[in-house]
Amino acid sequence: MTKTVVLKCGGSTVHQLSESFFHSLKALIEQNWQVLIVHGGGPDITKMLQALNIETEFFNGQRKTTEAVLEVAEMVLAGKINKQLSNLLQQKGLKSIGVSGSDAGLLRADYLDKEHLGLVGKVNAVDTEAVGLLMENGYIPVVAPLARTISHDTLNVNADLAAAAIANAVGATKFLFVTDVPGILDQDKQLINEITPFEIRSLINSEVITGGMIPKVQSAVATLSDVCKEVIIVSGQEAFLEDNEFKGTKIVKERKVLST
Ligand SMILES: Nc1ncnc2c1ncn2[C@@H]1O[C@H](COP(=O)(O)OP(=O)(O)O)[C@@H](O)[C@H]1O
Ligand SMILES: CC(=O)N[C@@H](CCC(=O)OP(=O)(O)O)C(=O)O
């Protein structure tokens, strides 16, 4: 049976991926996993907008996207980060190909909230044909989080949500968020090894889970299914596999009851 893993590589970590991260990735490929990577790039987009004196702000965790902002977001995501990451994978000896979510009908979207957010997409369909062909032939598709409407407008999509939509559509058995922290940390800044949607809700309510971690855990919870039984949050600065076990925080529907 084909095993597929989708990794979402955050803009916070995409320039700092460690050698041991790539070792873990190679280990997955040696174990015949098909791999697809969706990347972010929020910090780079913000930096470029500031350099160009274009104002930028977020509403409910998503970037308000005007025509000018979209032009820069597409340039940074599909032009810069996508190519850098695909090159880096090839340097490490991995077969990869960079595409935009707006290519080959991969991500179709509607406007999420045109009034408040402008050109921001909510994915409503995913065409996995092209990325499926690539993965079957041993390539890692590297996907920039952009989508197209039915009338061919390009939209900016939050990368966590784009990755979740793709993970669902390709039937990923594992979904990894690669970020700049080792996983979800509790109120004492200790790593949580395993967590359920119920416990996540309580940590959001008590403001232990905040900011950029919120769309990650929400996307994770939405992706949990009989196919994808766990979603894992790991750091890009270290190995994410140890003795064939995933490190980080595992998000699971419910905790296994240990039999005595
Ligand atoms: N409970 C928590 N545990 C770990 N990180 C958290 C938590 N709550 C908020 N965060 C923040 O989430 C950040 C990761 O989200 P974000 O910066 O959006 O990353 P990415 O670019 O990978 O999407 C961490 O750097 C941390 O500051
Ligand atoms: C609509 C929206 O907010 N799009 C994001 C796309 C990039 C992204 O999500 O990158 P990270 O994973 O690094 O946050 C943005 O413009 O920043």
Cβ 40 under 6 angstroms from ligand 2: yes
Q: Report CA(105)–ligand 1 centroid distance (Å).
A: 30
**42 annotated as belonging to a binding site for a ligand:** yes
**Ligand 2 lined by 118 (C-beta under 6 Å):** no
Q: Are 140 and 6 in contact (CB under 8 A)?
A: no
- Is 40 labelled a binding residue? no
Interacting residues of 130 by C-beta distance below 8 A, sequence separation 6+: 99, 103, 104, 105, 106, 141
CB 159 less than 6 A from any atom of ligand 2? yes
pLDDT in tens, 39-94: 999 999 999 999 999 999 999 889 999 999 999 999 999 999 999 999 999 999 99
Q: What pLDDT, in 10s, does the model give residues 186-204?
A: 999 999 999 999 999 999 9
* pLDDT beyond 80 at 224: yes
- Grade residue 260 by pLDDT with cuts at 50, 70 and 90: low
Rounded Cα distance, 107 and 181, in Å: 28
What pairing do the DSSP bridges indicate for beta strands 146-148 and 154-156? antiparallel
Walk me through the domains of the chain, giving residue ranges and CATH numbers.
3-252 (3.40.1160.10)
- From the CA of 162, the nearest ligand is 2
Distance 181 CA to ligand 1 centre (A): 7
Mean pLDDT of the chain: 96
Atom of ligand 2 nearest to the CA of 63: 3
Longest dimension (CA), the chain: 63
What SS3 class is residue 228?
coil
